[in-house]
């Protein structure tokens, strides 16, 4: 099965998105949102200016800032050395709360069958990234293989069993346990301090972020889509540079209490 959000809507509003403020909780995708997409994804680097912006926002909100990423928590830890941010990795399959406690949702049996199939059939131009709880197929360096990558992922998910789903993204397709997504991760954070009782704001760029947009929309929050494409997000930012500029406004708004 292919796992995706509900029906997408029209392009989001063209007005500048609200920056939030006191009493808000901030959630961010990473690749394509806070940092540019690069090939291969492993060469991404987080510059000090971004770290300073996120630290300033975390301080202004009393810690209510979290990363919601398809990357693993281990990978996020390498990109953000030092005191770790609250974060959800692998689209919510693992999560580190503001208290530092890590929870992981063990995958159903079957992922080894997907690994075996991919080891035998994957084209060498497709990067197979085994994240432990999920498997990603990257084809950014060979975009002509997108159709093949999708078919291969569906075959691997079929080998893994009914509890697994295929999640497409920007030149990536993933095999992951069904029922866990970024929207669920946001909701779990919102049940914990310092996020509890705040209004959620989520910024993302990919179809994998649509679940997060749906969750914050249902909670009366702010959803911000980065880049082009139909979406359920209510607001829009043009690119990563625009996100960085908006972050400066968000910090000022959060400090305005």
Containing 138, the helix (H) or strand (E) segment is: strand 135-138
29: annotated active-site residue: yes
Gap between the Cα atoms of 205 and 209, Å rounded: 7
CA atoms within 13 A on the CB side of 76: 25
Residues in the chain: 257
**Alpha carbon 145 to chain centroid, angstroms:** 23
The answer to whether the bond into 8 is cis (omega within 30° of 0) is: no
Find residue 31's DSSP bridge partners: 35
Task: Tell me if residue 235 falls in helix, strand or coil.
Answer: strand
Catalytic residue chosen out of the listed positions 29, 75, 181, 205: 29
Gap between the Cα atoms of 119 and 136, Å rounded: 13
Task: Give the closest residue to 42 by CA, choosing from 8, 78, 85, 5.
Answer: 78
Cβ neighbours for 243, distance < 8 A, ≥ 6 positions apart: 33, 34, 203, 226, 237
- Catalytic residue list: 29
């Amino acid at each position: 099965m292919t796992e995706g959000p509900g029906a997408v809507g029209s392009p989001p509003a063209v007005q500048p998105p609200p920056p939030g403020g006191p009493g808000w909780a901030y959630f961010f995708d990473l690749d394509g949102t806070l940092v540019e997409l690069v090939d291969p994804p492993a060469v991404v680097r987080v510059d000090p200016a971004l770290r300073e912006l996120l630290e300033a926002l975390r301080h202004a909100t009393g810690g209510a800032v979290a990363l919601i990423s398809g990357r693993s928590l281990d990978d996020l830890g390498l990109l953000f050395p030092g005191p770790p941010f609250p974060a959800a990795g692998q689209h919510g399959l693992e999560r580190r709360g503001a208290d530092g406690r890590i929870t992981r949702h063990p995958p159903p049996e079957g992922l080894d069958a997907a690994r075996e199939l991919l080891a035998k059939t994957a084209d060498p131009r497709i990067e197979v990234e085994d994240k432990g709880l999920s498997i990603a197929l990257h084809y950014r360096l060979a975009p002509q293989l997108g159709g093949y990558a999708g078919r291969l992922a569906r075959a691997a998910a079929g080998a893994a069993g009914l509890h697994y789903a295929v999640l497409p993204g920007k030149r990536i397709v993933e095999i992951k346990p069904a029922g866990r997504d970024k929207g669920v991760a946001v909701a779990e954070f919102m049940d914990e301090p310092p996020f509890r009782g705040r209004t959620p704001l989520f910024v993302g760029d990919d179809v994998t972020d649509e679940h997060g947009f749906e969750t914050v929309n249902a909670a009366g929050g702010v959803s911000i889509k980065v880049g082009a494409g139909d979406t359920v997000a209510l607001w829009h930012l043009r690119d990563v540079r625009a996100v960085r500029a908006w972050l400066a406004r968000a910090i000022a708004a959060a400090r305005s209490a």
